[in-house]
Chains A and B, each alone.
Chain A
Amino acid sequence: MGNMKIKAKLKGDIVNVKVMAKHDMLTYDQAKKKGLDANFITHVSAKVGDKVVYDVSTSQFLSKNPMFKFKFKGAAKGDKVAITWVDLKGNTVTEEKKIK
């Protein structure tokens, strides 16, 4: 837990981003069975500079090690896209990737 894989590629004027976050995404049901606390990613956002290009509030029903794909305009090759996720316990992870 605690890191992610990011791919960001510019195609024409659109940046395609693929993110895989490493997270168990334990639902309340699963956690109960395992005797653990539920914990899942509750928010994911992506920024280029100060501009937010992706923003989603999420529930426990994302898959384990959830994957996200999205597209946006207005960035160039070499710009950095920064992805941040927050989970129920308040852990925050941010990672950056250069757009190829």
Chain B
Amino acid sequence: MEPDPMHVLIIDDSRAMRSILRRIVTDLGFTAVEAANGQEALDHLEAGLRPELCTIDWNMPVMDGYTFVSRVRSTPEWRDITLMMVTTESEHGQIVKALAAGAHEYVIKPFTPDAIADKFELLGVRAGVVA
């Protein structure tokens, strides 16, 4: 199944952070779907949601972002989903680990809306357009 180019799945245990990201991706023309941890996000994918991109926090209860990335990348039908870590984890080793696991991009909190928009542009992710 091809990704739905209009959906972004926001995965963060903080409702405040999800709210901030939802505003940004909505302004970019996407429909936001939210999950409070990696397991909730997997539940969305298993239910058939195919977002164009997932924003993923690292430190979350139940299932962390690194485990989520690893799970998505080990599932062939989800291989087209773009994965972007959005996290406070800024150690070089952590960034390398996430990218090696299959994340495409990495944004460190705090960020500005422009920083998120720039990353979407860099990844070729636009509402209604699959690069």
Partners in one complex: no
